[in-house]
Amino acid sequence: MIDRNDELFDAARTVIPGGVNSPVRAYGSVGGTPRFLASARGAKVTDAAGREYVDLVASWGPALLGHAHPEIVAAVQDAAARGLSFGAPTEGEVELATVIADRVRVGDARPVERVRLVSTGTEATMTAIRLARGATGRDLLVKFAGHYHGHSDGLLAAAGSGVATLALPGSAGVPAPIAAHTLVIDYNDPDALAAVFAEHGERIAAVIVEAAAANMGVVAPRPGLNALIAETAHAHGALMILDEVLTGFRVHPAGYWGLQQEAGETYLPDLITFGKVVGGGMPLAALGGRAAVMDLLAPVGPVYQAGTLSGNPLSVAAGLATLRLATPEVYATVDAAAVRIAASLDRALTDAGVVHAVPRAGNLFGVAFLPEAPHDYARAQEQDAFRYAPFFHAMREQGVALPPSVYEAWFLTAAHGDDDLGAIEAALPAAAEAAARA
Ligand code: PMP
């Protein structure tokens, strides 16, 4: 019997490159036909053939409260009835910027004094880098191998996410002089950080770093690393850009930065980028930071950035509703679900005799087919990645949708109830057996 997903994928490939609008969706590394989703509610998604799955993708992070939360949907519907887009400032934008600035504070530390809303994480990091260059008058950017910050030209060198999944060194189409402005160093390696600053310190505008890496699988920063990055950058007159597009408002009310401050790791990034949860599933992202740097943005300052749909009223409504609903209890629920599923995953793979680790960073976790959690990209790439495809498909056949790449985190939501978590746990042993046979 022909599956509706197969029909749609065939049709899609005749009109959309690879049949998808974002590469990892194509199942390139796990094989098979991507599920075309028709609807989603709570912890579950339903595909075009009517099959339901417990979802661990959560739209790649945004759905912290679960899919189609009634209050978020109602907020978007209300906003839609008042107009889809104005291209003019709105009251909601002021409210959302204020909420973001107020949430990202721990004690007296308050790194976000100004906020600008954009539509994607890619725009947020791209703008943050331009700002850092404008603020310092320098050109070079330091990034870490395996970190993903979106698809702007200078950030695709040794990037994670789809670039990692497709095992690409970077992207075609990036001019060599632009790529030459990005210095890529190993993650979790203080010596590499010291060396790059020793050699190029006076020309480095910024270091950009995922607050905790989650696009080469989950790779937490070693204790003190983020503080060392801030200290080193500042000692050389460079800025630290903390990329919280994935972690922001997901791992803690104040992001991974907040989690670290509470653990006593204090540091102040100059700019922070947000995305995913902050837009509650609608196209919205943001950058924030010190007023002295942020006020260099046009129209106050000389660094240009703009957007027809920036601060879109539907997106702002979804973001505001999401952050209002994202109470400490929500984080406690997601944290507990992550602890439970990470432990069950670990147990199932151990029972099946599969060499593995379950790397964690806050409530983010995933699987790595290595004896220990990797600390950098080179090690993450040495894993038995071939075990993931059978594991993934065995989970899917049992009604659990995992991210279609071993290099992506598994996303739980506050809507994953005991039944959903139980369904994931019930599926794990057979999937672990499939991974063992690979
Ligand atoms: N930064 C990080 C850390 C991300 O995880 C992502 C997306 N996964 C981005 C930036 C880019 O965001 P977007 O896909 O919205 O452009």
346 given a catalytic annotation = no
243 given a catalytic annotation = yes
Residue 1 alpha carbon to ligand 1 centre in Å: 38
Q: Are residues 190 and 101 in the same domain?
A: yes
Q: Are residues 205 and 194 in the same domain?
A: yes
Query: What integer pLDDT is reported at residue 162 of this predicted model?
Result: 82
Query: What integer pLDDT is reported at residue 168 of this predicted model?
Result: 76
Confidence category of residue 159, pLDDT binned at 50, 70, 90: confident
Query: What integer pLDDT is reported at residue 160 of this predicted model?
Result: 83
Q: Are residues 222 and 334 in the same domain?
A: no
Q: Is 423 among the domain residues? A: no
Confidence check: pLDDT of 167 > 80: no
Q: Is 222 among the domain residues? A: yes
Q: Is the pTM of this model over 0.80?
A: yes
Q: Are residues 142 and 94 in the same domain?
A: yes
Q: Are residues 217 and 337 in the same domain?
A: no
Q: Is 65 among the domain residues? A: no
Q: Is the CB of 275 under 6 A from ligand 1?
A: yes
Query: What integer pLDDT is reported at residue 239 of this predicted model?
Result: 98
| Average pLDDT value over all residues in the chain | 97
Residue 158 alpha carbon to ligand 1 centre in Å: 15
Q: Are residues 210 and 333 in the same domain?
A: no
Number of domains in the chain: 2
Average pLDDT of the segment spanning 73-80: 98
Q: Are residues 381 and 239 in the same domain?
A: no
Q: How much is the ipTM here?
A: 0.99
Confidence check: pLDDT of 285 > 80: yes
Q: Is 102 among the domain residues? A: yes
Backbone angles phi, psi at 52, to 5 degrees: -100, 145
Q: Is 396 among the domain residues? A: no
Compute the CA torsion angle 66, 68, 70, 71 (nearest 10 deg): 80
Confidence check: pLDDT of 424 > 90: yes
Average pLDDT of the segment spanning 178-191: 95
Q: Take residue 122 and report the two structure tokens written for it.
A: 């890619």
Residue 281 alpha carbon to ligand 1 centre in Å: 13
Q: What is the CATH number of the domain that holds 254?
A: 3.40.640.10
Q: How far is CA 237 from CA 139, 379, 428, in A?
A: 13, 32, 49
Cβ neighbours, 10 Å, residue 15: 7
Q: Is 411 among the domain residues? A: no
Q: Is 178 among the domain residues? A: yes
Confidence check: pLDDT of 97 > 90: yes
Query: What integer pLDDT is reported at residue 331 of this predicted model?
Result: 98
Q: Distance (Å, rounded) from C-alpha 57 to C-alpha 345?
A: 16
Q: Take residue 42 and report the two structure tokens written for it.
A: 């709570």
Q: Which domain, by its residues, includes 159?
A: 70-325
Average pLDDT of the segment spanning 67-88: 98
Residue 276 alpha carbon to ligand 1 centre in Å: 8
Q: Give the chain's largest Cα–Cα span.
A: 65
Q: Are residues 239 and 347 in the same domain?
A: no
Q: Are residues 352 and 287 in the same domain?
A: no
Q: Are residues 321 and 333 in the same domain?
A: no
Q: Are residues 182 and 105 in the same domain?
A: yes
Average pLDDT of the segment spanning 302-321: 98
Sign of CA dihedral 158, 159, 164, 168: negative
Query: What integer pLDDT is reported at residue 379 of this predicted model?
Result: 98
Q: Are residues 321 and 351 in the same domain?
A: no
Q: Residue 362 is which amino acid? A: G
Q: Are 317 and 75 in contact (CB under 8 A)?
A: yes
Average pLDDT of the segment spanning 301-308: 98
User: Which atom of ligand 1 is the closest one to the Cα of 150?
Assistant: 11
- For a mutational test of ligand 1's pocket, the pick from 149, 153, 411, i.e. the residue with the most ligand atoms closer than 8 A to its C-beta, is 149
Average pLDDT of the segment spanning 266-293: 98
Choose the weakest-confidence range: 171-185, 243-257, 331-345, 414-428.
Answer: 171-185
Confidence check: pLDDT of 223 > 90: yes
Q: Is 81 among the domain residues? A: yes
Confidence check: pLDDT of 302 > 90: yes
Measured between its terminal Cα atoms, the distance across the chain in Å is 27
Sign of CA dihedral 430, 432, 436, 437: positive
User: Which atom of ligand 1 is the closest one to the Cα of 247?
Assistant: 3
- For a mutational test of ligand 1's pocket, the pick from 148, 156, 218, 411, i.e. the residue with the most ligand atoms closer than 8 A to its C-beta, is 148
Q: Is the CB of 261 under 6 A from ligand 1?
A: no
Choose the weakest-confidence range: 35-49, 172-186, 360-374, 390-404.
Answer: 172-186
The reply to whether omega before 62 is within 30° of 0 (cis) is no
Confidence check: pLDDT of 192 > 80: yes
